[in-house]
Each structure stands twice: as structure tokens, then as C-alpha cells.
Amino acid sequence: MQDLQTFLNVRETLANFLLEDIGSEDITSNKIIPDDLLARAEVICKSSPAIVCGLEEAAIVFDICACKSEILAKDGSRVKKGRIVMKVSGNARAILKAERVALNIMMRMSGIATETRRMDDLAKGVTVLATRKTAPGLRYFDKKAVVVGGGGTHRMRLDDMVLIKDNHIALAGPAEKCVRLAKKNIGSSIKVECEAKNMKEALAAISAGVDIVMLDNFTPKQAANTIRQIAKMGMRKKVKIEISGGINAKNIKQFAQAKPDFISLGYITHSPKAVDFSLEITR
């Protein structure tokens, strides 16, 4: 965790996840397992290959339930099916009480990290960014998983930077007017990005002084032509270029060949394929 406040916020969020899952009690464990029984367990990866992520958060979940944990792999490392990534010990009921929340966090975060790493490898030198298309309440965990996978967070919240999108332009446009208004009202300390639906709009936004232009829903050919034109006009070094919309594992190489600075992907956080982990009691 970056700082104490982040740690405390994350711990509180995880405690709330436990409350949501447990309710008033774990009625099954409490009725059949002795309350003083001690146990040991292992958390095992059931998918291969996978980029493991969420071990720190899982350890906090077990700690909240008064269990001890030993992390045996590093977040961001590639693990194979069957790898033991964590050992847990403590009260048997407490281990089972923490199990599902800890595993759910790891499964989701590892899934996001794994797909981010795959896309980052395909993009070869272009920074892969997440978007704000995250599950409510999971923004911190989803974005951290992207970073662990080798990507960037883009905006965490609306107050991070100005991002002028199509609906802003529809209400206050055109694009160059929106950029000038933002620059005038926000100052120079906060970056201004503007979405563009075609080359003309991208060039207008750059001429207005935008810091980052987003080529939204361009084809690979359209993106390449636009970036070449920006360079031809001597503006390439004045602006960062992001490509977004309709990008996946099948076409990301083509988009990367246009040499943007960033490629943003919504699906890595809104539709991640979980990496399977299980907790096995070893007594």
C-alpha cells in the first residue's frame, strides 16, 4: 500500500465485504466445527498460466478474521496451476469465514492482471491503460491489478484530470471550444484530454492546446493516418496520443503499429476472466 490512509481505507472496504458475505454468522461452520479447533490451509492456483495479484489484500482479509498468513508468491509474478501462493493458520471457523472474500478478491485481481499482461505484451512498447469501467466499490482493486499486470491507471476519479468526451462536446462544443474553456478555467497544473471522432476533430483539439488527444473508435488505418498527419504538421511532440474503442487481442498489434502513446481498454476491468484459486485445509 502506498500510505497509511490507503491501507486503512482498503482494510475498511475489505471488512465491509466480509460483513456482506457473513451476515450475522457462518451458520454452517458454527454448528458443526468446534469453536476452539485450530487449522492450517493453503491457497492454490487452479489456472495456468496466471499473473497472481491480490495476495496483500487476501492477507488483510485473513488478518481481520484473526488468522495468520504467509505469502509465498509475489504480486505480478507468473504462476502455474498447482502453485501454492499462500499459507494460512488460525481458528478453523475463522479461516472458513474469510475464505470466500479472500479468494474472490484474488481471483478477480489476478484475472485483470493476467489479461493486462497479455495485452501489454502484444502492444510492445505502447502503454496499456485501464478506464473507469470498473465494478462499483472495486475501483482501487481493479486499477491496482492493471498496474500489477504492467498497465497504467488512467483516471482513478473524475477529479484527476479533464477528459472531454462526446457528450461534453454535444453540450458545449465544438471540441476546440471545449479545450480552450477547460484550459482557461482549470489552469496548467491539470492535464486536459479530448476525445476525437475523426482526424479533423483531433487536429482541432491539438491546435487548441490539448495535452492528450483520444482517437476514439478509429480503425487501425484511420489511427495511423491521423498520427502521420499530426507528425507531418509538426505537432506530434506537443501532444500525447491515446487510442480507444473496439480494441482487443486480435487487433491491438495493428493499433500499436501506429505508435500512439497509450491504448486504453475497458474490457480488462469490466469483463475480466477470473483466475481460479482454491483454499484447501491441510490441518
Give the CATH class of 4-115+272-281: alpha beta
* Cβ contact 111:104 at 8 Å: no
Residue 232 designated active-site: no
Contacts of 187 (CB under 8 A, 6+ apart): none
- 96 in helix, strand or coil? helix
At residue 69, the pLDDT reads 98
Domains of the chain, by residue range, sit at 4-115+272-281, 120-270
* Cβ contact 75:54 at 8 Å: yes
pLDDT in tens, 48-95: 889 999 999 999 999 999 999 999 999 999 999 999 999 999 999 999
- 84 in helix, strand or coil? strand
At residue 187, the pLDDT reads 83
Cell 495535452, residue located: 211
Question: In the numeric block, which cell numbers belong to residue 149?
Answer: 499486470
At residue 1, the pLDDT reads 66
The tens-digit pLDDT sequence of the chain (283 residues) is 678 999 999 999 999 999 999 999 999 999 999 999 999 999 999 998 899 999 999 999 999 999 999 999 999 999 999 999 999 999 999 999 999 999 999 999 999 999 999 999 999 999 999 999 999 999 999 999 999 999 999 999 999 999 999 999 999 989 999 999 999 999 888 999 999 999 999 999 999 999 999 999 999 999 999 999 999 999 999 999 999 999 999 999 999 999 999 999 999 999 989 999 999 999 8
At residue 11, the pLDDT reads 96
Of the residues 68, 87, 133, 183, only one is catalytic, namely 133
Phi/psi region, residue 57 (left: phi>0; alpha: psi -120 to 50; beta: rest), is: alpha
At residue 249, the pLDDT reads 93
pLDDT in tens, 171-192: 998 999 999 999 999 988 899 9
- Rg of the chain over Cα atoms, rounded to whole angstroms, equals 23
CATH, range 120-270: 3.20.20.70
